[in-house]
Structure 1
């Protein structure tokens, strides 16, 4: 059924977790899951009422189609290809029909029309997968061992979390100390303000002993005043004095390119009289272009500077002597590479080249940037009532020294009679980021707190106190040790309002839509009452229904072939008119009925035994038969009358398949690992095989220990590069479904 650990086509990306479906199949056979359930769960397990994890894993059977992730491919084309593959594989595996022959025209030999082909593919056309690289839809598919490990971790984590809920005298003392750091400040002092010449700007007048300010508030303001502090700026007293203005662009492989730089002292651009240099010059674009007075930002106009591609490029202007600086204006390029300035730095240096002022990590301006040489604090944090600071209270991100800095406020609203107050404000900063309910509880005096407040504060403190870091680290380590669940692609039906329409595809071309069709069963194999539109569940149930004439026959014939080397119908893949007739028609019919409805036709030794669709019972029935237990020795009479042993005149004797040859060699040497289930393994193979096929994109990491000697069914299978020893014995690539393998008869195989 084309099982593989990769997706196929040229790049053949890996499908690393599909082994969870293989485990499901192995477990189903080991536990003797009835074949009708085995069928329904694989084709439509997701449509069962409240499907279990295992039933949804089963649907990965039809998600293991090939998908094409190569660039330039049409997702719809390969989605349709997967839908066709699912329909054809279903009919081959369960019905033994060459259904794919009806894709482009009516079947030439069997009673299957092209319309019926697309009616049947319609059952699979309503799933949510769409040939995507991430293989959606997928689901976590943990093993029982993973679930048990997770449950153990859950139990251990729960015990550790209980420790976080417990208090101690040491924790209580630390909590009291923490609470004092969140009390509202009491050192508010009034400040004078005077209106500046600029609209909306007020200058702060220091008063009293308060010099270091972190918080401000309007005393007497109400929400109706609409008073808002938009911006606080501070500049050194005296202003910055410098001789050099330097622009740097930190990082590897950077190019610094500027249109214009203006350095203002008051209203005068003093940069024009300076001398510009840069770390390197490329493309005949010297540093002087940035101070030539031309703000045009296009390289073609020869108005921009340009360094070479290098680490940490810089541009600098020497003003000739130290000057008081008020603004630096930078004009960026406008010809598509403006982003190059992202993260630049401006530095003002004095005559001794000591830094006097700097700004770092400045975003690239879209066109121009006016950078005032002052300490701008944009968007002060407004502390609302939920923080307990009042509607007019603000936290200033940077502490301001009123004795050394000139402070200006940009204000919205009417100041009127409102007074500005300030505080050192350390407590305000501590309150930032603390939730409203915690702050409200803290603001209540300790002796007046309710039991709920006390519990709330205790939980919050224990959630971050370093005293419990050890417990939290232990929890984090436990969480990190959780097993990663395999992510498995599964079948999932589209919502009812997103269902696709189904069409006959003219000549099999997905772009040429013919008549619209419904999901209906083939007429030749169905009763009239079954010919109604349905879904995958209806199809799955029909496959194993008593009215279906083929499924039971096809399955017992396949079991017979595994045991006797050939099926009663030798063409296992074709029960149609071009297939071989049964060598023993009556035996095939009896086995099919005995498989589907045990005891319906009485036979010695089978009366009243068995349950329907019992796989192990059928195998036991075959291997305990006199036919199977006879000698495989060939006599002259056998060769004359039954050369191909189609009359079963002797026991079966045949070459083993590729995987079994390897398993047999390992078993005889005593090396075979009999471990069941788990991820695919990587036994030794020639070096460089994957690198040669995929340009070194992925490597074959040879497994260690017993994993080198696992059964062949567990060997990682890449569709375009099969495992060499198995390819040597004609194991199929698994790109398509292969019902009957060709026999390999070579000297190496015999050896």
Structure 2
């Protein structure tokens, strides 16, 4: 009989109170941040009753008596029955639960110890938990599972793992020839597959898409005019090359933030600075140019904070941050790094690049209440005061190159943690920190803090190599385990925070389209180059100024979705239906929805209808002429495995039903399939209907 150790589950991966002692960072700080700091936190302008609860020295002056909850004003207020005195006040939508009050009482009774916020603490390499020679990641995961009486899931079936690793590393399913390795499957074979996929050009295409989400990449300016950026793709292609060449993440960072300031800069490094040229740009005739410039720089500050540090620095644009130790002065000192940049199209590369203004440089001010017309105190470029200081600059004042080097310095507590968390999330559906753009006090605590720090230190130790980090993750049993539902964790850990199994992940919009094209044989695999225009219905252009849309010629429309032109005013509806971002802001985590509209799109959208047609004709030409062989081949092409006997029986029955329907419909029925010219048009039409069903299966739309 398995011993189940109960714990409090709070719809969060950071709160597992099986441990006996209340811990400030794990148990108390998240409550204070969510429900108390808005009025009793860092922002001195909004602080009520002169009470500050984010600093222990201030809290114990009047609100907390360590060891004595009944004598503590905090405990009295949160348990008060008088609406005039109870905290939070009845008008607050963020009321404390009984469990949270109980945690406060225990914490005060145990001494009300505070801790520095975990994300601002230096990264220290923790020891790997003792194990019988298991993979380091598995040692951390299994040590945590054992405290809750759980064991990891068994290994996934080889075919499920093969499809998983192909989709995760390249964004494409394996081909029939790729399945040959299953006949001699072993750990060594799996490692060889991983190495081959990491070396594939498709790896850079898949992983570039993750980064381009954060870079808010688009091929147009946005706003009403939405002017085209014909050379924006040069930055996109730089990102692809950076992933394929395994450009170390520290250099990847420096080149994007300050490639123009590097000594003997190369054309590639100049192209990299297009990162901050990706943002929307208001070019309307009546726009206030200074306001537009201010908003553009604010975007650069906020994006840098979210992408590299996982901080909501934008909250300090108008006032000191309510939850984190980021003052409004900090914000504009950070803003000062970008205040003397200008947009420039580099003649030697034709790429959009950043450049530093050398003459008539601007003085930076605090903009009071975030109003670009209200100047407060002068500031100079400086790093955030709550983080380690920046190395002394050789110049009179630090610049963007100093900022970039500070971000990737070993002393910075956030950058490697945030980067590792982003990468981890692509393999499990969520990060070790489930709020990837908020490592601050209002975000979630890590589910496995020691593992996060070990991976962050290992990432830096391996020279910031993303390919080595990715291989480390995918070689673990934690990654390779089955994703099958487990009743034994359904109540204990319904969100699978402890990772007692893998997670089934719905395919990203682009990967779903690419997979349909790949299995149908239509996919054109040319890497890089200008973006293409897919066919679009005319009514898409009823709103906005964009018009004269003409689909790209020939087989260009069958290229990977990464290369679809992204016009901010005319987003490709097939992708947005499946939750692709709109490039308005940095997207560090996509939503994943499951809606009827998605099923209708899979059945009726032109690209999926054409893929089903091509898939059916492929099965018709490549299979023996009997129905069973054709259905088996069609099934294997789509789902990368042979059908089980009961599945084949159902497909055969469906095939017979649809064939009778096509025959009954005669020429009119065949016309709906585009006037088939196959030797047996009735059989071809029937297989198309089967292919449309297979492309709609949950197994095709998700990766196990």
TM-score, reference length from structure 2: 0.53
Residue equivalent to 1:275: none
Asked if residue 694 in structure 1 is aligned to residue 563 in structure 2, the reply is: no
Q: Which has the higher strand share?
A: 1
* Matched residue SS, 2:386: helix
Structure 1 gap segments, 5+ residues each:
130-136, 143-486, 598-610
**Separation of aligned partners in 1, 2:570 and 2:352:** 22
**Separation of aligned partners in 1, 2:347 and 2:549:** 25
Alignment of 1:61-76 (within 5 A): 61-76=275-290
Alignment of 1:167-186 (within 5 A): none
Residue equivalent to 1:117: 331
CA RMSD of aligned residues (A): 1.6
Q: Does the Cα contact within 8 Å between 2:260 and 2:355 map onto a contact in 1?
A: yes
Residue equivalent to 1:745: 594
* Matched residue SS, 2:323: coil
State the shift of 1:699 in Å.
2.2
Residue equivalent to 1:616: 467
Q: Given the superposition, is the C-alpha separation of residues 141 and 711 from structure 1 closer, same or farther in structure 2, using an over 3 Å criterion? A: farther
Q: Given the superposition, is the C-alpha separation of residues 705 and 638 from structure 1 closer, same or farther in structure 2, using an over 3 Å criterion? A: farther
**Separation of aligned partners in 1, 2:391 and 2:319:** 27
Residue equivalent to 2:409: 545
Residue equivalent to 1:725: 574
Q: Given the superposition, is the C-alpha separation of residues 700 and 141 from structure 1 closer, same or farther in structure 2, using an over 3 Å criterion? A: farther
Determine which of 513, 529, 547 is the counterpart of 2:375.
513
TM-score, reference length from structure 1: 0.50
State the shift of 1:67 in Å.
1.2
Residue equivalent to 2:442: 578
Asked if residue 490 in structure 1 is aligned to residue 353 in structure 2, the reply is: yes
Alignment of 1:602-613 (within 5 A): 611-613=462-464
Determine which of 114, 123, 138 is the counterpart of 2:345.
138
State the shift of 1:749 in Å.
4.2
Residue equivalent to 1:712: 561
Alignment of 1:280-299 (within 5 A): none
**Separation of aligned partners in 2, 1:711 and 1:525:** 41
Deviations 1:414-472 (A, max 9, x none): xxxxxxxxxxxxxxxxxxxxxxxxxxxxxxxxxxxxxxxxxxxxxxxxxxxxxxxxxxx
Alignment of 1:548-567 (within 5 A): 548-567=412-431
* Matched residue SS, 2:355: coil
Residue equivalent to 1:504: 366
* Matched residue SS, 1:744: coil
* Matched residue SS, 1:552: helix
Alignment of 1:203-218 (within 5 A): none
**Separation of aligned partners in 1, 2:367 and 2:327:** 13
**Separation of aligned partners in 2, 1:18 and 1:540:** 23
Q: Given the superposition, is the C-alpha separation of residues 582 and 530 from structure 1 closer, same or farther in structure 2, using an over 3 Å criterion? A: farther
* Matched residue SS, 1:516: strand
Q: Does the Cα contact within 8 Å between 1:628 and 1:652 map onto a contact in 2?
A: no
Asked if residue 39 in structure 1 is aligned to residue 253 in structure 2, the reply is: yes
Q: Given the superposition, is the C-alpha separation of residues 683 and 528 from structure 1 closer, same or farther in structure 2, using an over 3 Å criterion? A: closer
Structure 2 gap segments, 5+ residues each:
1-214, 600-695, 697-704
Q: Given the superposition, is the C-alpha separation of residues 559 and 27 from structure 1 closer, same or farther in structure 2, using an over 3 Å criterion? A: same
State the shift of 1:628 in Å.
0.5
State the shift of 1:665 in Å.
1.5
Q: Does the Cα contact within 8 Å between 2:383 and 2:389 map onto a contact in 1?
A: no
Residue equivalent to 1:29: 243
**Separation of aligned partners in 2, 1:547 and 1:557:** 18
Asked if residue 568 in structure 1 is aligned to residue 419 in structure 2, the reply is: no
Q: Does the Cα contact within 8 Å between 1:57 and 1:141 map onto a contact in 2?
A: no
State the shift of 1:640 in Å.
2.6
Deviations 1:387-436 (A, max 9, x none): xxxxxxxxxxxxxxxxxxxxxxxxxxxxxxxxxxxxxxxxxxxxxxxxxx
Deviations 1:472-495 (A, max 9, x none): xxxxxxxxxxxxxxx322101011
Q: Which has the higher helix share?
A: 2
* Matched residue SS, 1:128: strand
State the shift of 1:528 in Å.
7.3
**Separation of aligned partners in 2, 1:688 and 1:730:** 21
**Separation of aligned partners in 2, 1:36 and 1:615:** 10
**Separation of aligned partners in 2, 1:515 and 1:686:** 53
* Matched residue SS, 2:419: helix
Determine which of 644, 648, 656 is the counterpart of 2:495.
644
User: Matched residue pairs, number?
Assistant: 384
